[in-house]
Structure 1
Amino acid sequence: MKKILFIHQSAELYGSDKTLLLLLKNLDKTKFKPIVILPFDGPLKEALESEKIEVVIAPVLKLYRKLFTPKNILGFFGDIKKAFKIINELHKKHQFDLIYSNTLAVLLGIMYAWKNNIQHLWHVHEIIEKPTLFKKGFIALLSLKCNNFIVYNSKATQTFWEANENISKKGIVIWNGIETNSLEINHNDVLDIRTNKFKLNSDEIVIALVGRISRWKGQMILLEAFQKLIKSRTDIKLVFVGAPPPNQENFQEDLEKKIAEYQLENNVLILPFQNEIQKIWQSIDIAVVPSTEPEPFGMVAIEAMLAQKPVVASNHGGLSEIVEDNKTGFLVQPNNQQELIFALEKLLQNQELRTQMGQNGFHRVIHQFSVEQYVQSFEKLFENIVV
């Protein structure tokens, strides 16, 4: 049995957290034994332990912008000592064949692999254009000889990071997957959400954006497009599902101010993150992913397509690989409000088109983004890595 140490930057249940949980939950435990290090307690730890997976809390040596102060650097070196002591005990017990670092943010894996001559795999979920110093630093880390393998979550992510031959010769793309076995639609749940959460009339069409409320997720450009669309229609509603990152509450405040300025309080709704997000997807009519900067992947597009909803998305990053233009939705030029309006108008005017694109998207997810394909790709990779 191959022993793999998985190191991750968080214990929440957002994008990269979900993909790690999905992999470990479905990994063949007769062939692979996963042990996981997380930086703190949280819902991911609970979910992993419910699957009988060993989880250890330790510093993961996370790289962040405010690290480079005397106090934080001193703390970082203290964390190295503490983390290495914990992994030394784990390695003595398990004798790891591979260290898997999930996201570029964690440095513990590459540092320990280098010191102890253990094979290392970096699963890259990010496109980091700024600050430039960070981008150059990560390119240097990915180039290291002790970083043996790289998995990218999209071709767009791969293209962004393959800056030299040292990187390009050891990287492959494995698209994220999603569980597709719980697809039954409970029409009573949908009716309850549309009536009580969305406050809809029966004939209203719901446009939704699910994701962090941030500078680049596109909430503001979608709101601007919506306020123009609603001038000629009275049967539409816009729903934002999500919350801003910690200490970035100003993005939601700005969004709320703009909603009030347009006098759209009865037409636009902001909901916090929902635990049962698939029920939300089932209750909307059109999904929009108008990211102003490239998404490394775009998990929300897959979630919407699984719920048989058409997706209007920005034509860059991983979204260009997920959404098939004019088949499962529309790809529009990033930051182009007029293209966004035009795509939404097409879908608003044609229920049959919404239904057909939703069905096409569902079949695409089943065939290209299933959890089975996702996990099998990793298992094959692990088999080839650890002989």
Structure 2
Amino acid sequence: MEQKIINILYHSKLPHAKMGGQKSLLALIDNLDRSKFNPILTMPLDGELRNLAENRGIEVLIKPVPPMNIMSIFELIKVRNEYIRFIKEHNIKIIHTDDDKFAYFSTFISKKAKIKSIYHARVAQNHKYDKLLEPRISQIIGISDATKFRFKESTLNTKFVKIFNGVDCELFSSNYNQAQIRQKLNIDSESTILLFVGQLLITKGLDDILNALEILSETSNNNYKLYIIGSEPKKGKLDYFKSRTKELNLNKNVIFVGQKSNVNEWMQAADILLFPSHKGEGMGRVTYESMATSTPVIATDIVGVNEAVTSDVGILINQGDPKAMAAAIERLSCDKELYNKFAIEGKKRALNVFDIKKHAYEVMRLYETMVRS
């Protein structure tokens, strides 16, 4: 008997693929068994993500969702009914989203359409709709133990499953010549290259990095260059960090390169990845992407992040501690034996624990269980 294909409606709240959630979504879709699962994507606005999805042969529905308040009740009912019609026309079995607002809204769709719903919890900090969606959602996927703390014990026992995010190991762990990549990217070949990848926010620890670099400029004989990859989520953040760089007399040591699609090459070119994020991270996918390239990581010892970066594969420091970061950078730069150990063990951990194929397999197995139940 021929197996029926399971249609999954994925939702993204953002129309681009600059953020980790959207990158994780595309990576999952790329590794689905398309003989068993058919992905369909919905999002509130048109943008880059639509083109990326359609290039993969994925149908895209652009459907804005009005504010979740009593003033929008009639518009919300209208949009809900439009989704229900779309779901029935496409025989969709599961709605899958990592946006807490849409996850809550999706429960009103799924209950009426008699299908299942998944909320993919990617961050550890509590969200506005957590308590509302908990009793209504069919399933919660958490990317780390840290995401568990958002939910009640009763929810964890019945609806929560931990599935680590995944990295494209073939892309990030491929053999490469660092000198050639540095030349290609126009990166200084004489300096120790530090890399930051993420949103330009104080909560991502960028101020801590700049303060650590100021300490190193006064105490170290090593020449450090920091390359910052990322965009400003709010206007003015880039100017703020450029101003801080100038204040600390670090203009020659800090290079802002903007958003990049070839992050794997920048990680391969770097000596150390810095991930000094503050509380609230689900895990931080750039940490195990960097580990997959054999580039060691210095990260903050906070829940979620310390599930990816253990003391066996990198250096963990207290959040908001530039002195500890400066000391860790200097230690890792000078201790070649420790550096090589972290490079080898970090790559092993990334390939064994965070392979996207393993992630996709576990998600697909969950889909099949949900559809059968």
- When normalised by structure 1's length, the TM-score is 0.87
The answer to whether structure 1 residue 281 and structure 2 residue 281 are counterparts is no
The answer to whether structure 1 residue 297 and structure 2 residue 283 are counterparts is yes
TM superposition shift of 1:28: 1.1
Q: Which residue of 2 is the match for residue 222 of structure 1?
A: 209
The answer to whether structure 1 residue 233 and structure 2 residue 254 are counterparts is no
Asked whether the equivalents of residues 124 and 304 of structure 2 are also in contact (C-alpha less than 8 Å), the reply is no
Asked whether the equivalents of residues 84 and 109 of structure 2 are also in contact (C-alpha less than 8 Å), the reply is no
Runs of 4+ in 1 over 6 A off after TM superposition: none
Asked whether the equivalents of residues 7 and 60 of structure 1 are also in contact (C-alpha less than 8 Å), the reply is no
**Alignment partner of 1:84 out of 59, 80, 85:** 80
Q: Which residue of 1 is the match for residue 182 of structure 2?
A: 191
CA distance in 1, matches of 2:159, 2:54: 32
TM superposition shift of 1:209: 1.1
TM superposition shift of 1:167: 4.6
CA distance in 2, matches of 1:191, 1:21: 28
| Counterpart residue identity of residue 125, structure 1 | R
Asked whether the equivalents of residues 193 and 283 of structure 1 are also in contact (C-alpha less than 8 Å), the reply is no
CA distance in 1, matches of 2:265, 2:180: 7
CA displacement, residues 232-268 of structure 1 (integer Å, 9 cap, x when unaligned):
22421122211210xx233322221221112111111
CA distance in 1, matches of 2:179, 2:329: 27
CA distance in 2, matches of 1:6, 1:108: 14
Q: 1:81 to 1:162 in 2, by over 3 A?
A: closer
Q: Secondary structure at the match of 1:233?
A: coil
Matches within 5 A, 1:47-126: 47-60=52-65, 74=71, 76-77=72-73, 79-106=75-102, 107-126=104-123
CA distance in 1, matches of 2:197, 2:114: 42
TM superposition shift of 1:109: 1.6
CA distance in 1, matches of 2:314, 2:67: 37
CA distance in 2, matches of 1:234, 1:172: 45
- Could you tell which deviates more after superposition, 95-104 or 175-184? 95-104
| Counterpart residue identity of residue 89, structure 1 | R
The answer to whether structure 1 residue 208 and structure 2 residue 195 are counterparts is yes
CA displacement, residues 139-179 of structure 1 (integer Å, 9 cap, x when unaligned):
2321x2x3111101111112x21224145421010000011
Asked whether the equivalents of residues 88 and 113 of structure 2 are also in contact (C-alpha less than 8 Å), the reply is no
Structure 1 gaps of 5+ residues are none
CA distance in 1, matches of 2:180, 2:78: 48
CA displacement, residues 192-245 of structure 1 (integer Å, 9 cap, x when unaligned):
245x2x4x2x32101111110012000001110111112222421122211210
Asked whether the equivalents of residues 38 and 60 of structure 1 are also in contact (C-alpha less than 8 Å), the reply is no
Q: How many residues of Structure 1 are paired with residues of Structure 2 in the alignment?
A: 363
Matches within 5 A, 1:240-319: 240-245=228-233, 248-319=234-305
CA distance in 2, matches of 1:323, 1:210: 16
Asked whether the equivalents of residues 6 and 38 of structure 2 are also in contact (C-alpha less than 8 Å), the reply is yes
Asked whether the equivalents of residues 207 and 236 of structure 1 are also in contact (C-alpha less than 8 Å), the reply is yes
Q: Secondary structure at the match of 2:87?
A: helix
CA distance in 1, matches of 2:82, 2:132: 27
Q: 1:31 to 1:226 in 2, by over 3 A?
A: same
TM superposition shift of 1:187: 4.6
**Alignment partner of 1:5 out of 2, 9, 16:** 9
Q: Secondary structure at the match of 2:256?
A: strand
Q: Secondary structure at the match of 1:181?
A: helix
CA distance in 2, matches of 1:124, 1:27: 20
> Which structure is richer in relative contact order (CA contacts within 8 A, separation 6 or more)?
2
**Percent of aligned pairs with the same amino acid:** 25
Matches within 5 A, 1:371-386: 371-386=356-371
| Counterpart residue identity of residue 266, structure 1 | K
Q: 1:163 to 1:352 in 2, by over 3 A?
A: same
| Counterpart residue identity of residue 86, structure 1 | E
| Counterpart residue identity of residue 233, structure 1 | N
CA distance in 2, matches of 1:230, 1:128: 35
**Alignment partner of 2:353 out of 339, 362, 368:** 368
TM superposition shift of 1:60: 4.1
Asked whether the equivalents of residues 272 and 295 of structure 2 are also in contact (C-alpha less than 8 Å), the reply is yes
TM superposition shift of 1:313: 0.4
